[in-house]
Chain A
Amino acid sequence: MSLAEAHVGNGFVISRLWTEKRYRSIFFQIIALALLIALIFFIVNNTIANLQALGVSYGFRFLAQPSNYDINQHLIAYDSTSTHGRAAIVGLLNTGLVAVCGIILATILGFTFGVLRLSNNWVMSRIVYVYIEATRNVPVLLQILLWHGTILNLPTAKNAIVFFSGTFFLSNRGLTVPGPLPEPGFQAVPIVFLIAVVGAIVFTRWAKRVQDETGRIYPVFLINTVAIIGLPVLTFLVTGTPLSWEIAEMGRFNLAGGVTLRPEFMALWLALSFYTAAFIAEVVRAGIQSVSEGQTEAAYSLGLRPGRTTRMIIVPQALRVIVPPLTSQYLNLTKNSSLAIAIGYMDITATLGGITLNQTGQAMEAVMLLMAVYLSFSLLTSLFMNWYNHHTKLVER
C-alpha cells in the first residue's frame, strides 16, 4: 500500500460529519449553536425595529429621573424626590430583608420539624407529618393571601392588642415594638462584638490544632458562646447602658414611634417561612435517615458519648445530604418573595418592576434589570452554599 492510497482511505468525506460518531456530536452542536445565535440576533433586531416603529425611547436614563412616588418601607433614606434608581435599591433591600428573614426562620422551623418528624412520640410525628403534607401541597400564593387576610382581621390600630405592659402593640396595621435609640458610647458594643467573633474563630482553629496534636479537648462551643454574647453585654453594662427605648404612642391615626413590622411584611415573611420550612423538614429528615445505624453503633463501640456521636459522626454525614437540596429551597424562597406584589409589599418587583415600569413605560429595561437582580441573588446564594457544601463534604483519603 503506497502512502497516497492510505491518504485517500482516510480522506475526509463530508457525509462523515453525520454518519460517524466522533464528528456527529460536534457537528450538530455547532449547528445548534449557530441557530441559537441567529435566533438571539433575530429577537434583538426585531425588538429594536419594533421599538423604533412604536416611537418608544429606550435606555437606562430613567433611573436618574425623580421617582415621584413614596414607598412605605424603606431601609435607606428615600422620599418622592429620590430617583427611580434609588427606588429600585429600596425595593432591592426590601427583597433582601424578607429573603434573609425568611431563610433564617424557615431554617429554624425546618430543622425543628424535620427532627420532630422522626420523633418516637407518635402524636408529635403525626402532627408534623400532617403539617408538612398540608403546607407543601397548597400553592404559596394562597398561603400568602391567607396570612394577609388573617392579619387584616386583627383588631384595628385604636383597639390594638397590647402586651408586655404597654410596649408591644399588635393590630391590623402591624406589630409595633419599642425602637432602640443608641446614645453616645453605644458604638463600643458592636465593636466588641466583632472582636469577640474574630477571637472565637481564631480560638476554634487553635483548639482544633491542639486537639489534632495532643488529643486535648477544650469546651470550644461553651467558651465561644460566652465570649460572643457575654463580652458585648459586659461592655454594654460597663459603659452605663447607653441605649434607651422609644415606645410607640397612639397618634391621631396610627401608632407613632417605635419600629413597626407592616402586615404585608409579616404576611409574606411568615407564609414563605412556613411554606419553605415544610420542604426543609423533609430534606432534614432524609439527611438524618441517610446515615446508617451502624455509624452510631460504631461510634458507641469506640467509646464516644451520645452527644459527641451526634455532633461528630451523624451531623457531618447528614449535612452532606442536606446542603445541596437546602440550597435550592433557599433559592426558591428568594424567588417566591416576588409574590409580594399580591399583597402590596414593596419589593423590587413592586418598585422597579411595578410603579417605575408603569410610570416610565421602560418595560424592557426594567424587566431586564429585574432578571439580572434575581439571577445575581440566586447565584450569590448558590455560591455561598456551594462553598459550604465543599466545606462539609466527605474528605476522602
Chain B
Amino acid sequence: MKKTIGILAAVTSATALSLGATAGTLDDVRAKGHIQCGVSTGVPGFGFTDDAGNWQGFDPSVCQAVAAAVFGDTSKVKYTPTTGKTRFEALKSGEIDMLARNTTWTFSRDVDLGLTFVGVNYYDGQGFIGRKSLGISSAKELDGASVCIQTGTTTELNLADFFRINGLSYEPVPIETNEEARTNYVADRCDVYTTDASGLAATRSTFDDPDAHVVYPEIISKEPLGPLVRQGDDQWADVVRWTLNVMINAEEYGVSSANVDDLKGGSDNPEINRMLGSEGNLNEMIGLDKDWAYNIIKQVGNYGEVFERFLGANTPIGLERGLNALYTDGGLLYAPPMR
C-alpha cells in the first residue's frame, strides 16, 4: 500500500513539473543553451547526417541559421529526427522548438493543429517517378498501378484526388519513411513512387542507375514547404521568420558569406546597413544581438549559397532553382523589406 502511494506521489509531482515550461521559447532556448530542431529522418540534400554524424542539408541549415542569430554559433543545435507522423506532436508537446522538415503549409495545419508556419523556403509540387522500362510518358497512364507513398503526408491526399479526378484505379502502398519507400520501389513492390518533386530528384540521385528512372511531367499539387513553430509565441515565430527573410534578402541585396565582412562596416545601400546593424536598431526590436544577421550570413550563407551547396547543379541532386529563384529572376522568392 505504501508503495502505491509513493508511486502516486511520484506521478503527480512529475506531471506537475512538466507543466512549467510554457514561458517564451526564446528565453527557454537561451536558458538551455541550444535549439532543439525537428528534422526529417533523411532525405538526400534536404536533411542527412554527414560522415561525422552531424545533421546537414537544406532544412537543418534553417535551424543552424537561427542558432547563429540567437547564439552566434551554428553548432548550438540539437536535432530530433521526426517522421511524417510524429513531427506535429513533437512540436506541439514542446519536445522540439522548431520544425525544419519538408512540411507543406496547408490551411488545416496552420489553423487547426495549433502551428504557425513562418514562411516558405522551398516551393515544391508532388510528382511521380517510375522505371523507363514501363514505357509510359505520363502519370495519366498509371491505371491499375501500385503506388508507393509516404504515409501521414499531404501526398497521400493529393494522390487520392488525382486518381479519383482522372477516374483511374491504383493500389496505394503506404510506407513510413522515405528510405523504406526507396527500398520498396527498388524491389519493384510498386510501379511508381510519389512524393514532392524535390524529394524524387533527391531519391533518384541515390539509385544505382538514375538514368533508368524517369520523373513524369505531371505535378499534381502545390507544396509550399517551410519551417514552423508552435502557435502562440509570436516572438519566437518572428525570430525564425526573419532569420529566413534575412537569408532571402541577403541574396537579393548581393550579400554573401564571402563579402559580408566587407559590408559589415557600412555600405551605400541602407537596406544592407539596417540588416547588418550599422544603421538603425532592428536587432533591439527583435531582441537579438547586433550581429545576428551578420552571423547568419557569415556562418550559414544567403539562400542562394545554401541552395547551391546542398541541392544545386553541382550536387548529385542537381535541382534547378525554378520556382525557388528570386522574384527578380522570375521565381517566387520575395522577402519583406528590412525596415
Contact = CB atoms under 8 A, between A and B. Distances in A.
A165 interface: no
Is the interface on chain A under 10, 10 to 19, 20 to 34, or 35 or more residues? 35 or more
Contacts of B156: 69, 355, 359
Contact of B15 (A42, A70, A357): A42
Given A68-B161, A253-B191, A358 B152 contact: yes
Is the interface on chain B under 10, 10 to 19, 20 to 34, or 35 or more residues? 35 or more
A79 B11 contact: no
Contact of B232 (A54, A156, A254): A54
Contacts of A253: 134, 142, 144-146, 191
Interface string B182-216: 01100111010000000000000000000000000
Nearest to A152: B187
A38 B16 CA distance: 13
B183 to A, nearest CB: 8
Contact of A358 (B5, B88, B159, B231): B88
A338 to B, nearest CB: 14
B64 interface: no
A263 B189 contact: yes
Interface string B18-36: 0100100000000000000
A263 B159 CA distance: 22
A68 B188 CA distance: 26
B15 A31 contact: no
A10 interface: no
B152 A36 contact: no
A172 B15 contact: no
A81 B144 CA distance: 19
A156 B185 CA distance: 11
27 contacts: A28-B5, A31-B5, A35-B9, A38-B12, A46-B19, A54-B114, A55-B232, A56-B113, A68-B157, A69-B160, A70-B160, A70-B172, A152-B189, A172-B187, A253-B142, A253-B144, A254-B144, A254-B191, A256-B144, A341-B176, A350-B174, A354-B152, A355-B151, A358-B84, A359-B108, A359-B156, A361-B114
Interface of B: 1, 4-5, 8-9, 11-12, 15, 19, 22, 84-85, 88-89, 92, 108-109, 112-114, 134, 142-146, 151-153, 156-157, 159-161, 163-164, 170-176, 183-184, 187-189, 191, 230-232
Given A68-B160, A361-B88, A361-B112, 18 more contacts: A25-B1, A28-B5, A35-B9, A39-B12, A53-B232, A54-B232, A56-B112, A69-B160, A70-B172, A72-B173, A72-B174, A80-B161, A172-B189, A344-B173, A354-B151, A359-B157, A361-B109, A363-B89
